Structure 1
Amino acid sequence: MYGIKHKLIISVTGLLLAALLVFAAIQFTNVSASESITEGEARELIKDRYQGEILNVKKVNSTYLIEMKKEEAFYQIKLSENGGEILSFEKKEQIPNGEQKQLDEEKIKEIIRAEESGELLSLKRVTHKEKSAFEAIVQKDEEKIKITVDALNGEILFRAADEAEVPVRNLTEEEAIQIAQKNEPGEVDDISFEETDSGSYYLVEIEKDDGREAAVQIHAITGTVMSVTWDD
């Protein structure tokens, strides 16, 4: 009789212990599943899982709204703050520009420095062909260069010399002489620089082998031969 009671006590004790272990496991699972994750953890979780480019992350109540780009396609993902559960995964045709995260000025400066060496004189936000962009002016040697960069993806949208800032340069005397001698071979006797209301020019006098002298008039900016006159 004693043996039966002893076995019964052991059995009941075992069942109670097993029940306690099951209850503890359930509680532990619930706690782990409901553990909150940070925005950085949410970003890394989606990036690691889907191997895409995270464009933007924002939190609404206890849900992270994540915008992702992968292979030229856009996706919007809803992720629970509690445990990191994926609530929805939708492909979007295009994410509106206002919702995409724009590059900051430091990243834009890095892109500009990689594109063009020189001193960055100015950087401002502009709209280029209906796109949000940054416009930079870079000083390189004696030239100022205007560079326009897409604010969303860093693409170079426009690059050219800033003509409004580049001063007009006259030809040097050596350049004018080369042009004159190419047009009328001979020995240079004299060169003069003249300025008029209609523009400036060089007058190069060349002594020819036959004794004649040619006066070659050359536009001081374009290098065009304007006229050739002869002094017998």
Structure 2
Amino acid sequence: MRKKTRLLIAAGAVVLVMLIGVVAVLQSESDDIGEDEVRAMIMERYGGEIEAVEIRGQHYIVRVSDENFEYEITMEQEDGSITDMKSRELPSEEVAEEQNEKSSEDTGKKNLMTEEEAKDLAAAEVGGHFIHVTTNEEAHPAEYQVIQLVEDDDEGALVTIDAQSGSVDKVLWFSIDFEDIPDIEAFAQELQEYNRQYQDDYYIEFDDYYDD
């Protein structure tokens, strides 16, 4: 009887020790810093661009790059301390490629034609007199949309021009008495919306459009 009691006590003690170990492990894991915190710490300390974050055992492996170097940083999961850091200089062709990409983007932005050039193109395309111009920077590439009064007071054209290449992408002709337009900005927005929705149409007639 005493043997059984001792065995039960011993077994209970083993189970208790195992439970304490599991709780300790779970508690230590819950106290580990998360990936978002790791990213914030790396950006604050080193800057650059984080390429990847992975977990190896009890460590985070973070790959960071800047204009000339790539770094592999090893951090403790528990407290975020740095235990190792390796770096390599990026090959000159990689650096040149990144710089060329940035340069191309900057050049594309700088090479947009001016509103005055767009107005001249619209006049050369359809003639008439300038009324209104809008820059649509949400389009890719950006575009100018120029309204010209073409003939008398009742015929006009909306000329869409690629702001980068300077090509005329579309001419939407319309018929309306310009003297009846109370707000040219609002009218220009309506024309542009029509132009977007009905891309295959090239003529619109506003019959008594603004009559009450």
Q: Which has the higher contact order (CA 8 A, sep 6+)?
A: 2
- Return the TM-score normalized by structure 1: 0.31
- Return the TM-score normalized by structure 2: 0.33
Q: Which one has the bigger helix percentage?
A: 2
Q: Which one has the bigger strand percentage?
A: 1
Larger radius of gyration: 1
